[in-house]
Amino acid sequence: MAEHRVLVTAVGGNIGQGIIKSLRNGKRAYFIVGIDMEPLSAGFSLVDGYYVVPGTGDFGFKDRIKEIAYKEKIEAIYVCSPKELLFFSEHKEEFEKELGLSVFVNPPEVVRIGSDKLMTAEFLRESGLPYPETVPADDGEGINKIIKNNGFPLIVKPREGSSSKNVFLINSREEINAAKLLTPNPIVQRYLPDLDSEYTAATVSSNDRKVRASIVLHRDLIQGTTYRTELIQDADITQQVIRIVELLGAVGSCNLQFRLVDGKVFVFEINPRFSGTSGIRYLYGFNDAEMVFEHFRLCRDLSQPGLQPAVVLRYWNEIYIPSVDFSILRRGDALHNGIQTIVNKI
């Protein structure tokens, strides 16, 4: 029988599904309720109960979350969509006070810095940390300076975005102009060389904003998503990661994506949240999904877990739901019990 009842948002995505896998492989038993705005969500097959909800900015979203949390006796909410972060961060106190649960999300100022790649670069620069020079795409003087200092290639990408969408490797001024037309709210950024030196790191910080646990993985990507990782146990790299996250002021889980340049950590993306590698990290012994529950919900000490050196490879999987079609599934939780019965047989 499940000890604890939790809500995982955006279970149609790899972050939400990674949290589910992490919790299923934790030391406690969880009754997991999943939500998603997409009725055809494969994540619904992985949870104990599910609901289709409005989009985060849509009318009725907040009331729907409260209704579900109250009905399901939820103890904690795992926020798994980048688009939901600021909403839950700004309403964290309201949810926790009104419903008596815990919301695992970073403070608003941390979310704002991490969600905006120009602000990320400015934070790093102002903190005296290595950073990739970054300017708005309409800043001609700034672009000239980056070209003078670094030459081509450069990167054009959106100020806000994820999964390497609308990211272009640029080799001329003409290509910058073309990429600007294809990229929403574009920025131009120094290109960090050496694809073999790309890393992802995760940390868990306490309320005092001190990092208590961390992991660094060397990774390979395909279409912007991590698909091969190996554990890196390097004290110098780890200390650089910890310093960055503590200067940022993260609380709970935080993810950095970076490359090494002359031994220095050059962060090009901060994800102030659980990340797409949450479903990988628990295999190394770093289960941040359960760590935050233990620490912030159950008030247990938070400490560095022992990590198991290994290589982890990702692969595709499928969900088979017999005797239904899209029109049935799109009706959402009106058929919750029937579909769940089918899924549980798979």
Amino acid 337: pLDDT:
45
Amino acid 319: pLDDT:
81
pTM of the model: 0.92
Amino acid 36: pLDDT:
96
Burial 182-215 (b: 16+ CB within 10 A, else e): ebeebbbbbbbeeeeebbbbbbbbeeeeebbbbb
CB neighbourhood size of 166 (10 A): 15
Amino acid 331: pLDDT:
63
Amino acid 197: pLDDT:
83
338, pLDDT greater than 90: no
Amino acid 317: pLDDT:
85
Give the angle subtended at the CA of 115 by the CAs of 111 and 116, to the nearest 5°. Answer: 125
Task: Tell me the per-residue pLDDT of 138-196, one tens digit each, with 9 for 90 and over.
Answer: 999 999 999 999 999 999 999 987 656 788 999 999 999 999 988 999 999 999 987 77
Mean pLDDT of 101-125: 97
Lowest mean pLDDT among 12-26, 261-275, 328-342: 328-342
Q: Which distant-in-sequence residues (6+ apart) come within 8 Å of 52 by Cβ?
A: 35, 36, 37, 38, 39, 41, 332, 333
Amino acid 164: pLDDT:
62
Amino acid 301: pLDDT:
96
Amino acid 225: pLDDT:
83
Amino acid 346: pLDDT:
40
Task: Tell me the per-residue pLDDT of 84-98, one tens digit each, with 9 for 90 and over.
Answer: 999 999 999 999 999
Residue percentage of the chain with pLDDT more than 70? 93
Cα distance between residue 36 and residue 91, in whole Å? 19
| Residue 39: DSSP 8-state | S
User: Residue 264 in contact with residue 130, Cβ under 8 Å?
Assistant: yes
Cα distance between residue 178 and residue 221, in whole Å? 25
210, pLDDT greater than 70: yes
Mean pLDDT of 47-60: 92
343, pLDDT greater than 50: no
Amino acid 332: pLDDT:
52
Amino acid 21: pLDDT:
97
5, pLDDT greater than 70: yes
Mean pLDDT of 233-249: 98
With 0-12 CB in 10 A as exposed, 13-18 as middle and 19+ as buried, what is 268?
buried
Amino acid 328: pLDDT:
67
Cis ω before 107 (30° cut-off from 0): no
Torsional sign, CA 131, 132, 137, 143: positive
Residue percentage of the chain with pLDDT more than 90? 81
1, pLDDT greater than 80: no
Amino acid 334: pLDDT:
40
Task: Tell me the per-residue pLDDT of 291-330, one tens digit each, with 9 for 90 and over.
Answer: 999 999 999 999 999 999 999 999 988 888 777 777 766 6
Lowest mean pLDDT among 49-58, 61-70, 102-111: 49-58
Map out the domains of the chain with their CATH numbers. 4-105+318-345 (3.40.50.20), 133-190 (3.30.1490.20), 194-313 (3.30.470.20)
Mean pLDDT of 103-129: 97
Q: Could you tell me the two tokens for 50?
A: 């599910």
